[in-house]
Structure formats: structure tokens, C-alpha cells
A and B are shown apart, each in its own frame.
Chain A
Amino acid sequence: MQEMDVSVWRGDAGGGGLEQFKVPAQESQTILDVVAWIQQYADPTLSYRYACRVGMCGSCAMMVNGVPRWTCRTHVNKVLKDNAITIAPLRNLPVIKDLATDMDPFFDKWVAAGGVHHPGKSRDDAIEILDPATPARVETDTGIECINCSVCYAACDTVANNADFLGPAALQRAWTLYLDPKDADPSAILDAVSGRGGCHNCHSQGSCTLYCPNELNPMKAIAGLKRVTAAAFFKGGR
């Protein structure tokens, strides 16, 4: 059976390095299959995170050959170079152990970006009917299929160089919530994204959009936030 050379980053918050493994090649093999094989047959102490294995839960993202990818949906034959693969923990997040990162900073920024619904109605009010054809709703539809995998956050050079930057996923969430007519406090969202780590720090390099596994466009969402905050600036009060 043909074997692949797989380099896996091992270590913790204190540091670490690459460890080499020989992994048997199989048909329709994913990167997550490779990691699972190593943990089951070569080294049971290897730590990594996954859950659904079908690209829905956003748990298994890792750096594959230096690029952030959802490993459960990344086929080996797509990324294998010279019969070798390098697998490392997600960039821009603290490492817990081996391939498992601490995603707290990523999710904390979702909240910091105003990504929590601001309710304005009680249970006694009628359910608001939304027209799926309005421009705001059509725009919203392009940004709501985020699986919180943090691939965009790991791909973002602005996050890498500016630790306070809220990042593409959190800002895209803020944008779709801002467009939601059911949200009762859109100005709170604009305040949240206008601070020192807000959308205005984005350099529009587009790595988020390039690497998003669900082919979303956070760069467009951030441009939308820049547009509405600039308009709010001219209207005064900001």
C-alpha cells in the first residue's frame, strides 16, 4: 500500500514543532481521515477537534500546507504535494494542544461585534412577516451560511497583525444582523463595529473570501458596514 509523508504540528501554548508520520493512502481520503488514522494507529496522544464530519459544524478547521481549510471536506488528492502534507493548528488562535486551538477569542469577538440579537417585541406581538425579495434580505442571504469554522479568521493578515481586529466572521454576522428588520437596535451594531478593533481596520485583502469553505464573502459584508457607518458619520451623532 502506498504511504504518504504527513507532518503534524505537535505541542502546546509553550511551543512545539512538526512530527513526521507515514500514513497509508486510501481512495476518497480526507485530511480529517489522515489525522484520525494517526490518532488511532500511530499516536493516540494526538489532540484535534472535530464533530460532524460533513462540513456543517465548523469544528475541524486546520492549516493544511499553510492554508486554512475545513479538513473533513478537503480531499487529500486535492492538496497532496510531492506525496507530502503538512497539518498545523489554525493560525491567529492560541493553541491548546497539537491541532486543537482555543477558539474563545474568535467567539468573544462575535459578541463584541454586536452579533447578539437585540429584541424589540414581546410574545404578545404578532410575528413579523419578512419578504424574501427585499434587497436587504437578498443581501442577508449571502452571508448567513457561516459555520463558525474560523477559516476566515485564520486567513486574515489584519487579524495576524492587529490583535484587536474583530475579524471577518464576526463582522459578517454584524452586517447580516444590521440588515435584519427584526433587530430593534441597529445603531448598537454600528457602534460595536466602529470602535478601535472595528470594520475600519480591514484592508480588503480578501483572504477571508478566498478561503471561506462555504464560499461566503465577508469582505463584501465589511464593505457594507464601512458604507453604512460612513453614512451615519455624515448624518451626525457618530
Chain B
Amino acid sequence: MLNIALPKGRLGEKVYAMFEAAGFECPSIKEPGRKLIFENEENQVRYFWVKPSDVAIYVERGAADIGVAGKDILLEYEPRVYELLDLNLGKCRMAVAAPRDFYDDGEKTLRVATKFTNIAAGYYGGLGRDIDIIKLNGSIEIAPILGLSDVIVDIVETGTTLKENDLEVIETIVPISARLIANKAGFQFKRAQIEKIQQSLKAQVEHHD
């Protein structure tokens, strides 16, 4: 039985459709209700919905053999997993944003508000810029408006939220999209099934490009 962790929400639904098209359907997953685990004995698959940021943990710890996680989560938490495929879904970018009139003269320590402390530290570490990281869990955009930080590091999809809060992207750190990941040990013992899914998803991604 192959255990597959899917991210709850619209992205997860799109991803499931891809698995279904690959021949790994599990009809019970579409039944209404609050159930989180679905199994198809015939196809030897078990799907479960988990919080998107938890998918990588389920896969790294072997509770799931494969899963779909955002590149942002993989860069932030650096789980020990194989990253098998870029699904080209949920595309956005990790970016530095600041108030429209912001100018970094480099004289002071830069105050950076973010949920993604590891990514922010890595990015500014690479630039050799001294920063003060302010870890926030949500509503990051208001931090510069209230003077809590100079800039923010966050995921930008359309940029509408930034615009509405008088912020603009000043630097793109890395493009983000959903990735198919696999547990390293699980991959060894269920390789044929995982590679079959990987190949089929890859064909679907290439077809859409």
C-alpha cells in the first residue's frame, strides 16, 4: 500500500485530479464528509489530507511514502526527502517587499518580518547583509506599516495584498511551486509504484506546458 499525503485545499484537489488521471484513483475521496483518510485496495493507494505545511513532515517521518509540498516549505524546513518532480502548480514566488518609498542605504541593521526565517536568513546571509529577523505567523504585510520592520519576506502570488497595503516587491528570492516529494526509505522499497506515478505526473505536466 502506497501512502500519499495531499495538502488540504484547492491545490490538493488539483493534485488529486492528476493522481486520478495517472490511474491511481480513489473514488471515496470525493464523498462529502469530514473523513481524512481514503483507501483504494485495488490500486494499493491510501490518500490522506493534511495541513499543507505538514506534508513534508509526514513524508520525512515515513507516515507517507510520497506527498505534495510547496517549495517554500521545502526550503524553509529542509526535510530529508527526495524531490522528484516540479508539478508546476501553485506557482508564486518568495520575495522581499517594502513600502513604496523604502530605500535601503545599508547603514542600519535591516529589520525583516517573515514567517520564513530560514529562507530570509539564507538570502541575506548570501548578500552579507546584517539583519534582525522578526518571526511572525500571519498578516506579515502590516509589519512595515506599523514600523515593526523595514521589509518583509513572504510568498507573493498576484501582488494584490501588497498593493492594497502600499507595499511593492523589491526583490524576488526564488520561484515557488508544488513539488512531488518522497520518503528516502519508502522510495527504496516501493520504487516501481512511485516511479510509475512520477512518470505519469511528469507527462501531464509536460502536456500542460
Question: Do chains A and B stick together as partners?
Answer: no
Residues of chain A at the chain B interface (Cβ within 8 Å): none
